Amino acid sequence: MKLEVFELERFQSEWEHQVEYNLTESGIQPLQVKELLTSENLISKMLDIRLGYSQTNGTIPLRQLVSDIYPTAGVDNVLITVGGAEANFVSSWYLLKEVPGNEIALMLPNYMQIHGLWKNKGGKVNPFYLYPRDGRWQLDVEELKKAVTSNTSAITICNPNNPTGAVLDSNDLKVVVDLAEDKDIWILSDEIYRGAELSGALTPSVFDIYDKVMVTSSLSKVYGLPGLRLGWIVCSSDSVTHDLWTHTDYTTICPAKLSDWLAILALDSSLQESIRERLRDHLRSNWTVMENWLQHHSDVFSFIPPKAAAICFPKHNLPMTSLEFVDRLRKEKSVLIIPGEQFGMESYFRIGFGYEKDGLTQGLNRVSELIESVK
Ligand SMILES: Cc1ncc(COP(=O)(O)O)c(C=O)c1O
């Protein structure tokens, strides 16, 4: 079977380092190593680390810190992975192989990793969409119900959502949970942007409200540490968590030893709070730039402000496809944004505003130049 290409990641891999202004990132400017190493003592401890294999499911101190993020989780519910990417890979693989039914109900628009993984492993994907209605992104309950059949093993959501930055409101989340409970199926919830809410109010985790759940996440977005490649699955069943661990023997064996060690520093309570505060300040202040720019082009864009993450998903009325515009933007203006087609929605762009402020302003100015010349 031919591999379904993960268009979004391919596109970023090809171009993100070739342009002057990369406005595709969904996170903020990453931290520097020295921001984690806050004392001479820590520097010297790090220099003494032997670079052997690490505890393959993550060290106990790290799993303890991750479990603390979810009040009802314990260390045995946590599997450390190489980024959220491996967390999604392993949980999808497990669901498809070990759980009856080869279908998933998948929320769209979405970071398309689980979509592609599932199809590449021979499964069937039944989509249900978020729709922009009454100023927010909402589920269509009937569509969701239709997406769940007798062959469905899991409902998969991305909440907060990539690419819209939307957070499911409590009614919509309850509909998802009630339906899963009624059908006795899993929820796979990618919550990598949980903690990156502009308002600071934490999105509820499905882990704390449903008991047949795998939550995937990582340090890449909220903690500004994508280069550590450090993620996790938090699973409601200890024995399934153990089974998920047997899968990582075939993928990466273990997280990098240095990453496990540095992740413990990042999740330490004092540093964790300041890292998250830094994120919120940056998101709020850059969103002002982004929002002003969108309003300046109100004849071209309609948009719903994101509730979380450094991304927004405006709809445009330009006389060309998003793909064509993005291609010209890259070639003529050396700016990269993501065409909506890569999330299964045409006439949209995903624009990241996590860049440092001057770069964001300059990049957006160049997008304006192209808009003015084509509209
Ligand atoms: C929704 C979502 N899940 C998972 C990932 C992968 O994250 P990581 O860099 O931690 O592997 C991303 C990356 O952009 C994402 O947006």
What are the pLDDT digits (tens) for 137-192? 999 999 999 999 999 999 999 999 999 999 999 999 999 999 999 999 999 999 99
Model pTM? 0.97
CA 85 / ligand 1 centre spacing (Å)? 6
Burial class (CB in 10 A: 0-12, 13-18, 19+), 152: buried
Using pLDDT thresholds of 50, 70 and 90, give the confidence band for residue 359: very high
**Quick one: pLDDT band at residue 375, thresholds 50, 70, 90?**
confident
Question: Could you tell me the distance, in angstroms and rounded to a whole number, from the CA of residue 109 to the centre of ligand 1?
Answer: 14
Residue 214 CA, ligand 1 centroid: distance in Å = 15
CB of 85 sitting under 6 A from ligand 1: yes
Ligand 1 atom with least separation from CA of 86:
11
What pLDDT score does 269 carry?
84
The average pLDDT across 96-109 equals 96
User: Up-side HSE of residue 103: CA atoms within 13 Å toward CB?
Assistant: 11
Say if ligand 1 is within 6 A of residue 111 CB. yes
Residue recorded with tokens 């929320």? 107
Which residue's CA is the nearest one to ligand 1's atom 4? 84
Give the pLDDT of residue 99: 95
Confidence of residue 352 (pLDDT cuts 50, 70, 90): very high
What is the CB neighbour count within 10 angstroms for residue 142?
Answer: 9
For atom 7 of ligand 1, the residue with the nearest CA is 84
As a residue count, the chain comes to 375
Report the pLDDT value the prediction gives residue 1, as an integer from 0 to 100: 78
Decide: 192 in ligand 1 pocket, CB within 6 A: yes
Q: How far apart are CA 71 and CA 330, in angstroms?
A: 45
How many angstroms does the Cα of residue 279 sit away from the middle of ligand 1? Answer: 17
| ∠ CA 76-77-81, rounded to 5° | 100
Mark out the alpha helices in 225-351 (DSSP H runs). 238-251, 257-267, 269-296, 322-333
The pLDDT score that the predictor gives to residue 41 is 97
* CB 231 less than 6 A from any atom of ligand 1: yes
CA torsion, points 166, 218, 74, 46, in degrees to nearest 10? -150
Q: One-letter amino acid identity for 311? A: I
Q: For residues 30 and 226, is the Cβ–Cβ distance under 8 A?
A: yes
pLDDT band at 2 (very low <50, low <70, confident <90, very high): confident
CA dihedral defined by 215, 216, 220, 221, rounded to 10 degrees? -40
Mean pLDDT of the chain: 96
The 10s digit of each residue's pLDDT in 207-259 is: 999 999 999 999 999 999 999 999 999 999 999 999 999 999 999 999 999 99
Q: Across residues 60-66, what is the average pLDDT?
A: 98
pLDDT (tens digit per residue) in 264-305: 999 998 888 899 889 999 999 999 999 999 999 999 999 999
Residue 191 Cα, ligand 1 centroid: separation in angstroms?
9
- Mean pLDDT value of segment 342-357: 93
Report the residue among 114, 192, 225, 232 best suited for mutation to probe ligand 1: largest number of ligand atoms under 8 A from its CB.
Answer: 192
Strands 21-22 and 335-336: parallel
CA–centroid distance, residue 39 to ligand 1 (Å): 30
Rounded to an integer, what distance in angstroms lies between the CA atom of residue 374 and that of residue 319? 7
Under a CB-based contact definition with an 8 Å cutoff, are residues 330 and 336 in contact?
yes
> Ligand 1 atom 14: the closest Cα is on which residue?
26
Bridge pairing between strands 231-235 and 103-108: unpaired
Residues 6 or more apart from 338 whose CB is under 8 A from it? 8, 11, 12, 24, 163, 326, 349, 350, 351
Q: How far apart are CA 263 and CA 233, in angstroms?
A: 15
Q: Is the CB of 83 under 6 A from ligand 1?
A: yes
Between CA 339 and CA 345 the distance in angstroms is 9
The pLDDT, as a whole number, for residue 266 is 96
Asked whether 226 lines ligand 1 (CB < 6 A), one says yes
58: confidence class by pLDDT, cuts 50, 70, 90: very high
Question: Is residue 344 over pLDDT 90?
Answer: no
